[in-house]
Structure 1
Amino acid sequence: MALAPPGSQVAPLPSNLPFRLVSKTIGQGAYASIRKAVPINAPKPIIAIKFINKEHAFKQGRLTPKQIKMEIILHSHLKKHPNIIHCLGSGEDTLWTWIAMELAEGGDLFDKIEADEGVGEDIAHFYFSQLVSAVGYMHSMGIAHRDIKPENVLLSAEGDLKLSDFGLAALFKKDGQLRVCNTVCGSPPYIAPEIVSGRRSKRADMLDVGYAANICDIWSCGVVLFVLLVGNTPWDEPTMRSDEFKEYVDTGGQTTDELWQQIPAEILSLLRGMLKLDPAQRFTLDEIRTHPWFTRKNPYLSSSGRNVNPVGLATQMLSQLRIDFTREPTQSQRGFSQDEDAMDIDSDPHRSSAVTFLSSTQPETPIADAPFDWERPPRLASHDGISASQPTSNGQQAAYRAQTMSSTPLMSQLPCSTQDMLSQDPSMTQFSQTQQGVPMTLTQAARRFADVMPSHSLARFISPHSMDLLVPLLLEALHRLGVPAPTFTEQSIAECQRVGSASIRVKMADGRRQGLNGHILVEKVVYDGILYNEVRFVKASGDPLEWRRFFKNVVVCVGDVVLRPD
C-alpha cells in the first residue's frame, strides 16, 4: 500500500488502481495530490494521477460531488490538443476520486522564468501563441477555463506549453446557445474585473448578473502575457483598492507604472485590447490572432505551432535565470507580507475582501500541515560519486572545510571530478556572477528541452557548511524578510544534524497578498567522499514566480554559504 499524500491525513489510497504508482508527491493542493504512475506490467508510459480526497473536498473545500464530476466530464470532453494536458481516465472509491492525465515532463513554465525580469519577446510570443491556441480550442468546444494563471501552465519534455487544471472549467456554450456563469472564482491578480465588481445580494460567491466566462479567459491571458514579459503581475486585484489598477483605469490604460514602461511599444495595444474593462469591447480571439505582434515570425515556433528549437529555447531561458548577490533582498509592495497574522494565511489565502472564491481541486493553500512527502528531483546525469552515505575520508573532509569555511565557497576549490560533475547541474548556472552563459557541458549532448532545463525546480543550492550553521542562517533570513518561521531549539537542530535532514515549513502572504506555502529542505549529500548539504525550496502551493522571488531573497541573505561557480 502506497503512503498517503500530504493533506490526506493518512487516508489509504485505492488498492485496486489500474496502474502502478512510481513516485511520491509531485504536486499538491488542500485535498488533492499528484503522483506519477505507469502501466501495471510496463515501465512506460509515465502518467500523472491526481488524487482528490473526498472528505477534505466536501467538508473543508465545500465542493460537491457534482463539481468534481464536472471537472472530469469537461476535461475528458476536450480530448487531445497539443497544448492541453490530456485526460486519460478516472475512477473512485469511498475515500478518493482519481484522474489519470498526461504527465507534463517539462515541469512548470513559470518555475523557469526570472521573477521581476520575465523573458525576451521571442519566448513570450512563443508561449503566448501556444496559450492562445489552447484557449481557442477550449472555447471552440464551448468550455471556458476560468482559472488561467501561472500555476496551471506546464511544459512538455520538448518545452511546449500544456494548460492544466480544469477544476473551475465551465460550459459557456451548449447546443449553440451562450450561457453566462454566476460563480465567483479565480485568482485575484488574474481575475477579470466584471467578476470582482458584480453585485452579490443573495450569496457571497454568486453574482446577481452573470458574466461571459470565455471573455474573462481573454483578460486572464492578457495578464499572463504581461507576466511573461516583465516577471510580475500588473496589479494585486482588478479593484480600486489596488493603486496600480486604479491608475490603469484613471489613465485609460496609459499608466505610468514602471512595469508598464518595460513593455515594448508594439505589444501595448494588444495588452490594452485584452485588458479592456468593458467585456463587450475586449479583444476577441480573432482580434488577438490578427494583431501585428501576434502574427510576427518567431524563431522557436513551427508552422504547426510546436517548438522547432527545444535546446535553443531551453538554453536561452536557463541563461536568463540569474541571482545577483550584490543586490538587497526585495522589500517593497512587491516583496513579502510582514503582516503579523501571515501564519493564518491558509484560512484566508486570497486576503481580498472583494472576492469570495470557490475552491478548485488544485487550490491555493494546503489545509493540513502534513508530513513532507515530496519526490526528490533526480540527481545529476552521472551518479558516480554521489551518495547519502558518510564521507569516505575525514582528513579529506577537514582539509576541504578549512579551505572553504573562511570565504564564499567556489567550485574551483573542489576536486576536479566534483567540478566536472556539478558543471552538469543546471541549477549552478544561476549563481554565476559573470555573463559566460550556459556551459557547453549542459548543451552539447542535449536533444530535448528537458535535457537542458530540468522538470524539477531550480530553487536549490549546495553548501559545504554544516546543518547546525545552515538552519539558523536560514531562519535568520526568514526573519529578516518578515516571513513567519517555526522555532528550532539547539536540541532539534542537533537532531537534524544527526539524521541528515531538516525541514522548515513556510507559510506566508506573497507580494500580491496571495497564499504562498512550502518547505525549505536541507539534506546531506556526498560528492567524491566529501559531505555537503543541499538546500531545496519546495513549493506546495502559490504563484511559482513569487516562490522564485522568495528563493532569490533567501539566497541573497545567506549568500556567503552558497557554493558558486567562479
Structure 2
Amino acid sequence: MAPAPPGSQQIPYPTNLPFRLISKTIGQGAYASIRKACPLNAPKPIIAIKFISKDHAFKQGRLTPKQLAMEITLHKHLGKHQNIIQCLGSGEDHAWNWIAMELAEGGDLFDKIEADEGVGEHVAHFYFTQLISAVSYMHSKGVAHRDLKPENILLSAQGDLKLADFGLAALFNRGGKVRLCNTVCGSPPYIAPEIISGRRSKRPDIVDIGYEANISDIWSCGVVLFVLLVGNTPWDEPTRRSDEFKEYVDTNGRTTDELWAKLPQDIISLLRGMLKLDPTTRFTLDEIRTHPWFTRANPYLSPSGTSANPVGLATQMLSSLRIDFSADPTPSHPSTSTADDAMDMDNDTLPHRSHAAGIPATQPETPISDTPFDWERPPRLAVYDGISASQPTTANSAAASLAPVSQETLDRLSEDPCLSQFTPSASGLPLSLTQAARHFADIVPSHSLARFLSPLPFRLLLPLLAEALHRLGVPVPAQAEPQHGWEREEEAWIRVKTVDGRKQGLNGHVVVERFAEGVVEVRFVKASGDPLEWRRFFKKVVVLCKGAVLVPG
C-alpha cells in the first residue's frame, strides 16, 4: 500500500486521433484500456475508445495482429442492434491500435445485482430477453460470441442491456456453410462442457474435434440466467471435478443444490433445456423464445424490446442491493481463495483458465502492475455541491460517533442513492430521488456501487482495511502500515490480486481518499474479474470494517 502513483501513460497515445479524449481509464480488458472521447469540435456524442498496446499485446502477450483484425472485422460486421455495443471505427499508429465504440452509459449490469441474492423474476426476465435478442441477432449474422459472462454485459443510460467485448467472437456460418470451432476459450463457470471435454492431443487450447460455437453460446446464456436469478453461478466449471456439476449430471438436472431450490419449476425447465450436456438436444433459440417463461408478460419490457419503465426498473434494482452487517464474511463456496493462490497467478497470462483444473483459454489478461493507475474518479453527485467545511457537530449515527461529521454533510449523504445499500430495508432509498427521477441513470449511477464512506481518519482506517483484506486471504504488502504523507496527500491505494470463490482471477484496487469534511471515501475499483464476485468481495470487506462505515440516517 502506498500513495497513488501518477496517472500517466508510459507510451503516449496517438496524436492523430479523429476525436479528443475526455476521461481517464473507465475500463480495462485484455491488453487494453478504455477511455471516453468526443468529437474534436463538439461536446457530444460521447463514445468509448479501446486502446490496445501493440508492444504488450503482440510482443509480450499472446494476441496476434490477425486476431485483433478479426475482432474488429466481426464487430463491424454486426452493424447496429439495440442490445449490442456498436463499433464506430478503428485505427492505429506505431504503438497503438484503437477501436471506437458506442459508450455504455449505464455501466456494468452485474455491479447492480446483489451477490448471492440475484434480482426478482421480472428484472431477470427483462435482461434475459434482451440478452437472447442480442445473441439471436449475432447468430443471424453468422457470428458466435464465445465469451458470454457478466463482465461483458453492460447497460445503456436507460438501463437496457448492451453486449460487449468481441475479442473471442468467431464466424461460424458463412454463406450458409457452418464451420466448427476448435479453440478452447471462455470463462470456466460459463463455458459449455463440450468445449473443455474434447480431446486435445496437439495443443492444450485446441480440441481435436470442433464444436458448434452458436450452440455453446446457448449454454452460457443459461448460466447467465441462473446468475441473474440467484446471484451465483451453478458450478465452478462444467467438469466432474466440480461437485455441483457432478451432481447436476448424475441427477439428470434434478440436483438437490440449495441454489436450484430457490427457483420456480417453469424456470428450472427452461434452464434444464439450455443446460443439456448433449449439444444436439440443447434448446435452440426458437425453443427458448417459445418457452412459457420467456413469453410471460413483463411490466418493464416494451413491445419493441426496450425498457418500458426505466425509473421503476432502476428503483427495483437499487432496492434489492443490501449489505447485512451481521453476516459472516466467509467464503460462499466450498473452495477458498488464499494468498498463495493469488501469488501463484502473478505470472498467469490465462485469466480464464480454472486455477484448479488448468482449463486454458486464448485471451490473456493485462497484468495490473503494467497498467498505470489512472482510473476515472466517479462524478460527485449534485447533493454534495457546496458542502460546508464549517465546524463539525456530533450526529445521531452510530458510525458517526467515531468521528465528528457535520450535520450538513450527513443530510447531503442521505440523498446519495449509493448509500441506500447500507440501510436495513428498501425504505433507505431517498423518496426525493424516486419522485424526481425521469431516467434510469437518475436513480442508478453508471459508476460502481462498490464504495463506502467512513468518519475515520487515514491513520486508523488504512490498518483496518489491511487487516480485513488479510483475513480474506488477500495478500497485502508488508509495508501496509500507515506511512508519513498519506494524511497530507489524502489519497492511498491498495492493490488487490486474488482468486474468487469460483477459482478465477480477481484484480483491482481499493482507493482511499478524502471525500468531505470529516469523511473519507473507500472505492473498490475492479480491473478484471467477475463483477458479481467483486461485489461479493466488497461486501465481505465492508462487514469486516463495519465499525468504520458511515451509515446516513
TM-score normalised by structure 2 residue count: 0.95
The corresponding residue for 1:515 is 505
CA 1:458–1:332: 2 relative to 1, 3 Å: closer
SS at structure 2 position matched to 1:428: helix
d(CA) in 2 for partners of 1:483 and 1:49?
32
The corresponding residue for 1:107 is 107
Amino acid at match of 1:353: A
Query: Is contact 2:368-2:507 (8 Å) kept?
Result: no
Number of equivalenced pairs: 545
The corresponding residue for 1:230 is 230
Shift of 1:347: 2.8
Counterparts of 1:118-267 in structure 2, within 5 Å, are 118-267=118-267
The answer on 1:28 being equivalent to 2:28 is: yes
Counterparts of 1:20-419 in structure 2, within 5 Å, are 20-333=20-333, 336-348=336-348, 349=351, 350=353, 351-359=355-363, 363-364=364-365, 366=367, 368-386=369-387, 392-393=389-390, 396-397=391-392, 399-400=393-394, 407-409=398-400, 415-419=406-410
Query: Is contact 1:364-1:542 (8 Å) kept?
Result: no
The answer on 1:535 being equivalent to 2:522 is: yes
d(CA) in 1 for partners of 2:310 and 2:340?
45
The correspondence for 2:543, drawn from 553, 556, 562, is 556
d(CA) in 2 for partners of 1:164 and 1:217?
14
d(CA) in 2 for partners of 1:235 and 1:40?
48
SS at structure 1 position matched to 2:478: coil
Shift of 1:383: 4.5
The corresponding residue for 1:462 is 453
CA 1:489–1:455: 2 relative to 1, 3 Å: closer
Amino acid at match of 2:359: V
Structure 2: gaps of 5 or more residues: none
Query: Is contact 1:365-1:516 (8 Å) kept?
Result: no
SS at structure 2 position matched to 1:507: strand
Deviations 1:65-121 (A, max 9, x none): 110000000000000000000100000011111000000000000000000000000
Query: Is contact 1:6-1:370 (8 Å) kept?
Result: no
Shift of 1:338: 1.8
Shift of 1:432: 0.4
CA 1:62–1:353: 2 relative to 1, 3 Å: same
Amino acid at match of 2:497: K
The correspondence for 1:429, drawn from 410, 420, 426, is 420
Query: Is contact 1:410-1:563 (8 Å) kept?
Result: no
d(CA) in 2 for partners of 1:440 and 1:51?
41
The corresponding residue for 1:546 is 533
d(CA) in 1 for partners of 2:328 and 2:542?
11
d(CA) in 2 for partners of 1:80 and 1:227?
27
Shift of 1:532: 1.2
CA 1:13–1:326: 2 relative to 1, 3 Å: same
Deviations 1:38-57 (A, max 9, x none): 00000000000000111111
Shift of 1:341: 3.5
d(CA) in 2 for partners of 1:138 and 1:382?
42
Amino acid at match of 2:10: V
Deviations 1:343-385 (A, max 9, x none): 23243333143421101xxx55535343421000000124422
CA 1:435–1:107: 2 relative to 1, 3 Å: closer
The corresponding residue for 1:446 is 437
Query: Is contact 2:402-2:456 (8 Å) kept?
Result: no
SS at structure 2 position matched to 1:374: coil
d(CA) in 2 for partners of 1:62 and 1:81?
30
SS at structure 2 position matched to 1:549: helix
TM-score normalised by structure 1 residue count: 0.93
d(CA) in 2 for partners of 1:379 and 1:305?
32
Query: Is contact 1:184-1:205 (8 Å) kept?
Result: yes
d(CA) in 2 for partners of 1:452 and 1:366?
34
The corresponding residue for 2:489 is 499
Amino acid at match of 1:553: K
d(CA) in 1 for partners of 2:7 and 2:56?
8
Shift of 1:205: 0.9
Q: State the identity as a percent.
A: 70
SS at structure 1 position matched to 2:408: helix
Amino acid at match of 1:517: N
Amino acid at match of 1:109: L
CA 1:333–1:223: 2 relative to 1, 3 Å: same
CA 1:7–1:74: 2 relative to 1, 3 Å: farther
Amino acid at match of 1:372: F
SS at structure 1 position matched to 2:209: strand
Query: Is contact 1:28-1:366 (8 Å) kept?
Result: no
Amino acid at match of 2:453: I
Query: Is contact 1:410-1:565 (8 Å) kept?
Result: no
CA 1:7–1:142: 2 relative to 1, 3 Å: farther
d(CA) in 1 for partners of 2:79 and 2:370?
36
Higher alpha-carbon deviation: 286-295 or 57-66: 57-66
Deviations 1:377-417 (A, max 9, x none): 0001244224xxxx845xx24x54xx689x42279985453
CA 1:47–1:411: 2 relative to 1, 3 Å: farther
The corresponding residue for 1:19 is 19
Structure 1: gaps of 5 or more residues: none
Query: Is contact 2:8-2:374 (8 Å) kept?
Result: no
Shift of 1:445: 1.4
Deviations 1:226-251 (A, max 9, x none): 00000000000101110101111111
CA 1:503–1:63: 2 relative to 1, 3 Å: same
Higher alpha-carbon deviation: 111-120 or 262-271: 262-271
Query: Is contact 2:156-2:162 (8 Å) kept?
Result: yes
